[in-house]
Amino acid sequence: MRKSLFNTLDDFCYRDKTVILRVDINSPLDPVTKTIVNDNRLDKSIPTLKELLEQGAKIVLLAHQGDTLDYHNLIPLTEHAQKLSKKVGQHIDYIDDAAGPAAEAAVQALKPGEAVLLGNVRYLTEEVSTFEDSVSLSVSEMAECYLIRRLAPLADYYVNDAFSAAHRNAPSMVGFTAVLPTAAGRQLVKEVSALEKIMKTPASPAVFVLGGLKIADAFGMIEGVLKNGSADSILTGGVLGIVMLMAGGTEFSREQTRFVYERGLGTFLKPAERYLRDYGDRFVNPKDFAFRDGPMRREVDSKDLLKACGLLMDIGEKTIQVYRRMLNEAGSIFINGPMGVYEDPLFSQGTKEVWKAAADSSGYSVVGGGDSVNAAVSLVDDAENRFSYICTAGGALVRYLSGMELPLIKALKEAYRKV
């Protein structure tokens, strides 16, 4: 990343200053106990937090958890504060109030080198995407929002380290940049640098491995990276691989075709045909697939798919061989979307082998997306050290690679120009 894109932690001195630090520690929860099942984002937020504590800042942590639409995982951040305390080696209080009088009192009581985590910001309507979708506020209009009005006067600086929420145009993400000197945290700079490497200066050959089920996301990216030349090859798998082959005229069973249409994925066949027409030589689609035969895994050639029974659940051995060879020779690799139903041990092989090939390649490798990261961590030993970068972001990552300017990145750039 160009050094002059945003302010970083290096640009200000935080001793005795009150710093609002927005992190993304929104974590997957156990559906029954509602306890955190994966600390990945909490871990990634530690370096910036530690650095600011060591500098003697008074830190006001802001974060969200869960979704308001169905109250899914929308819980207080008590356990988050406990885990952060343990990881950082000092007590961090949780105040179950985002910006009201209790939050204000807690901020005013902070001493240098202390931190407090305030209430889940999604308690506030102005923070949720339904609000954002129907009321679109500019960054300066956001300065009038409750959260900013209440907290900004108590603080000296705003630091954002929440790249994985960078696509959210919410007050906690961008509003403070209008009224406080603003810097990007360490994690954010790392993520943007890794993605810039993939997007702007990829070592060639640049190989994209795209699969999974969220075809809309994949298609947004495909268009961008084919047009701007970031991808020399796109290796497809998962349901995306099936849709690409379908668009190219491969015959699938009635059950598999129904699967694609019932999920509303039929609408992607037309754009897929266009990609194949305009950039056909850059796609590498599955040569074979695996399916369930009683308790067994069986494989079938892509030319013979009518011989398969049931749904296609994974790429087959021939495809794995081809992808392995291409990844071995790649200069840069971006992975998003599993090759098969990796949650089922019978069909995890394609994802596991392809992920391992990417991890072992000497090329620069980035993996992103919820399931893709989960697959990397659960199927590849020592994934954290074998991939060049494991991205914490999902939605933000996909939009970034589609060439969209994310609200947070735009706000950080504008804040940089102001200082």
Q: Which does 238 bind (CB under 5 to 8 A by kind): Mg ion, ligand ADP, none?
A: ligand ADP
73/82 with CB nearer ligand ADP: 73
**Would you say how long the chain is, in residues?**
419
Nearest approach, Cβ of residue 153 and ligand ADP (Å):
40
- Span 369-398, contacts to Mg ion by CB under 5 A: 370-371
Q: Which of 213, 269, 322, 346 lies at the binding interface for ligand ADP (CB under 6 A)?
A: 213
Burial class (CB in 10 A: 0-12, 13-18, 19+), 280: exposed
Distance, in Å, from the CA atom of 343 to the CA atom of 358, rounded to the nearest integer, reads 19
Q: What is the CA radius of gyration of the chain?
A: 23
> According to the binding rule CB under 6 A, does residue 164 interact with ligand ADP?
no
Report which residue type is found at 184. A
Nearest approach, Cβ of residue 95 and ligand ADP (Å):
33
Q: Which of 19, 341, 409, 411 lies at the binding interface for ligand ADP (CB under 6 A)?
A: 341
Q: Which residue is associated with the tokens 């894109």?
A: 5
> According to the binding rule CB under 5 A, does residue 217 interact with Mg ion?
no
Judged by CB under 6 A, the stretch of 101-109, 170-178, 325-333, 334-342 that binds ligand ADP is 334-342
> At 225, phi and psi to the nearest 5?
-75, -20
3-state secondary structure at position 320: helix
Distance, in Å, from the CA atom of 287 to the CA atom of 13, rounded to the nearest integer, reads 57
Report which residue type is found at 4. S
3-state secondary structure at position 115: strand
Beta-carbon contacts of 247 under 8 Å, excluding residues fewer than 6 positions away, are 268, 269, 270, 272, 273, 275, 276
Nearest to 91 by CA among 59, 63, 62: 59
> According to the binding rule CB under 6 A, does residue 340 interact with ligand ADP?
yes
Q: Which does 337 bind (CB under 5 to 8 A by kind): ligand ADP, Mg ion, none?
A: ligand ADP
- Span 318-377, contacts to Mg ion by CB under 5 A: 370-371
370/403 with CB nearer Mg ion: 370
Q: Which residue is associated with the tokens 């949720």?
A: 128
For residue 210, how far is the Cα from the chain centroid?
14
Distance, in Å, from the CA atom of 376 to the CA atom of 58, rounded to the nearest integer, reads 36
> According to the binding rule CB under 6 A, does residue 312 interact with ligand ADP?
yes
Judged by CB under 6 A, the stretch of 25-33, 36-44, 46-54, 363-371 that binds ligand ADP is 363-371
> According to the binding rule CB under 6 A, does residue 338 interact with ligand ADP?
yes
308/380 with CB nearer Mg ion: 380
Q: Which does 340 bind (CB under 5 to 8 A by kind): ligand ADP, Mg ion, none?
A: ligand ADP
Q: Which residues bind Mg ion (CB under 5 A)?
A: 370-371
Residues near ligand ADP (CB under 6 A) = 212-214, 238-239, 312-313, 336-338, 340-341, 343, 369-372, 394
